[in-house]
Amino acid sequence: MLSVAGSIENHTHNHQDVHLATSNVRFSKILVGTDFSKPATQALAAAVAIGQRCDSEVFLVNAVPPYVDNPEAFPVSPEVFQGTLDRARENMKEFISHEPGLHRLRTKPTVAYAGAVELIEQVANNEKVDLIVVGSHGASGIERLALGSVAEAILRKASCPVLVTGPNCYAEHHPFRSILLATDLETTGLRPAQYATALAQHIDSQLTLLHVVENIPRIPGLDSEVLENSLRQKLQQLLPAHADFFCIPKIRVEYGAPAQVILDVAKSELASMVIVGLRHRAALSDHLPWSTLSHIIRNLRCSVLVVRSHLA
């Protein structure tokens, strides 16, 4: 069983005094959305790696697209509906059998006629899952659609953290080995840092806190070194005082385009997981727009954990 730390305590009403303290974060219930594709297989492998360390129950969800009601089309018999559902259930059994790691975990498959996003949302709410895992095809083109419609909708709607695996993501047997938290320090710092610190409470884990300065502010009389030291101090404040006892923390302030810098730092730190924050339900934070998120998911060799930034 993974024992982890990291929760936000606010001893005053001043936002500047909010800091990270210790508590438990557990991924005891993990939902994997699947259409039996290669991205779904990658998502399942990531979920199993986490599940084995958290002793999780894994919920596998497959939505069979409902037939469109078309008055001009031939009526669909109940036998056809049932046959389609039966084939999907057989595909689910085969999907599960191809992942040996699932045999050591409690699993609960769900196959139903429904929209994929609606069914995932329903099961997540009913089962009170702690983590949703989905695969992304990572296609290039229009950046807003590069994550895939299901992955994008889940990111917008889910209240729990969402782990997204991209097309270049490889199976990481130790998902908490090296964690990279990318934060803008304004709207996406506290709660994602809670998860990053908590998951890093693992033997010999490395935790890197990264802030990317895209445009250096031109303030008369402000020394760039003073600015960087201030940013480093803010990153340091996201760590519990005893972080050195359970992980190897590192603070990095880098300059450039956020997407490329995150990829470069993830590579240099041999990241096994990248954590980013969402500002609210409606959209991604200004610091990490869809184009940036889709770019890093498409090119990273590890999974991306997306955490809402509101205090829970």
pLDDT score recorded for residue 34: 95
* Whole-prediction pTM: 0.85
Q: Residue 250 — φ and ψ, nearest 5°?
A: -140, 135
pLDDT bracket for residue 219 (50, 70, 90):
low
pLDDT score recorded for residue 282: 44
Q: b/e per residue, 210-247, with b = 16+ CB within 10 A?
A: bbbbeeeeeeeeeeeeeebeebeebbebbbbeebeebb
Tens-digit pLDDT profile for residues 118-130: 999 999 999 999 9
Three-state secondary-structure class, residue 254: strand
Find the DSSP H helices in 128-223: 149-157, 190-199
The mean per-residue pLDDT over the stretch 183-201 comes to 84
CATH number of the 171-308 domain: 3.40.50.620
204 Rama sector, left if φ>0, alpha if ψ -120 to 50, beta otherwise: left
CATH number of the 29-165 domain: 3.40.50.620
List where CATH 3.40.50.620 sits in the chain: 29-165, 171-308
Tens-digit pLDDT profile for residues 228-243: 899 999 998 888 877 7
